[in-house]
Amino acid sequence: DTGVSQDPRHKITKRGQNVTFRCDPISEHNRLYWYRQTLGQGPEFLTYFQNEAQLEKSRLLSDRFSAERPKGSFSTLEIQRTEQGDSAMYLCASSFDRGAHGYTFGSGTRLTVV
Amino acid sequence: AQTVTQSQPEMSVQEAETVTLSCTYDTSESDYYLFWYKQPPSRQMILVIRQEAYKQQNATENRFSVNFQKAAKSFSLKISDSQLGDAAMYFCAYRSPEWGAQKLVFGQGTRLTINP
């Protein structure tokens, strides 16, 4: 297992377009998390899954954002009608059980909305 | 809600010297987890060290150690014998043990520069 993979690494999109990111967690990890990181800031929690169930969503996750984790494996994060304020690094992480031993992060997807 | 504060936006140290990064947090919980993560320019966050609040002994991982002061809600990271590869953003993070509260709360980060 090569760790948490995210695709694409970079995405440039025009305002108003929809974008979708993919995250492949470590196969043994049952929990998957999405975070957003803006320049010069620490990551902010967006949502998390335990297996295929989405158990918590941040208030940062507006109705333009949707995340799925079909079959409890990979996850997708979709942003509809992108806005310039959506420009950020989107990080995915996974953990086994409750993550008391820390999460494993992917390299992130950098989104630029022009 | 829990908050994490890193008051040093930037720090620099000479190679082979020791540097300490500061972190304070605010919580009403008595049991929790604290972490230091490193984010090099390649962007992937890497776990450096973790501390369980119920353990009084400070965690150590090779050249990295923490000074955990529970009463003061302080969790500083000491890097000994600094190496050029230690240059990165360092984030302090808090995690509640409560069921359902799975998220990590991060500080704003400290950018560490190693001078050769």
pLDDT at residue number B30: 86
Instruction: Check the CA dihedral B108-B111-A113-A26 and report its sign.
Output: negative
Nearest to A107 among B44, B52, B91 (CB): B44
User: With 0-12 CB in 10 A as exposed, 13-18 as middle and 19+ as buried, what is B92?
Assistant: buried
DSSP class of A98: T
Residue of A nearest to B99 (CA): A98
- Comparing A17-26, A48-57, A94-103, B57-66, the range with the smallest average pLDDT is A94-103
Which of chain A's residues have a Cβ under 8 Å away from the Cβ of B100?
55-56
| Neighbouring residues of B57: CB distance < 8 A, sequence distance ≥ 6 | none
Interface membership of B103 toward A (CB under 8 Å) = yes
Nearest to B106 among A43, A58, A101 (CB): A43
Which residue bears the tokens 């987890």? B33
pLDDT at residue number B56: 85
Distance CA A64, CA A111 (A): 15
B111 and A42 Cβ atoms separated by less than 8 Å: no
Distance CA B112, CA A38 (A): 18
3-state secondary structure of A72: helix
Are B95 and A99 within 8 A, CB to CB? yes
User: With 0-12 CB in 10 A as exposed, 13-18 as middle and 19+ as buried, what is A69?
Assistant: buried
**Of A97 and B75, which is predicted with more confidence?**
B75
pLDDT at residue number A99: 64
pLDDT at residue number B98: 65
Distance CA A19, CA A56 (A): 22
The residue-averaged pLDDT of A51-69 equals 91
Paired tokens of A77: 């994060």
pLDDT at residue number B5: 97
Nearest to B45 among A48, A100, A105 (CB): A105
Question: Consecutive 10-residue runs of chain B (116 residues): their mean pLDDT?
Answer: 92 97 93 93 88 91 96 97 96 82 88 96
Task: Sort strands B10-14 and B110-115 into parallel, antiparallel or unpaired.
Answer: parallel
pLDDT above 90 for A34: yes
Distance CA B27, CA B1 (A): 7
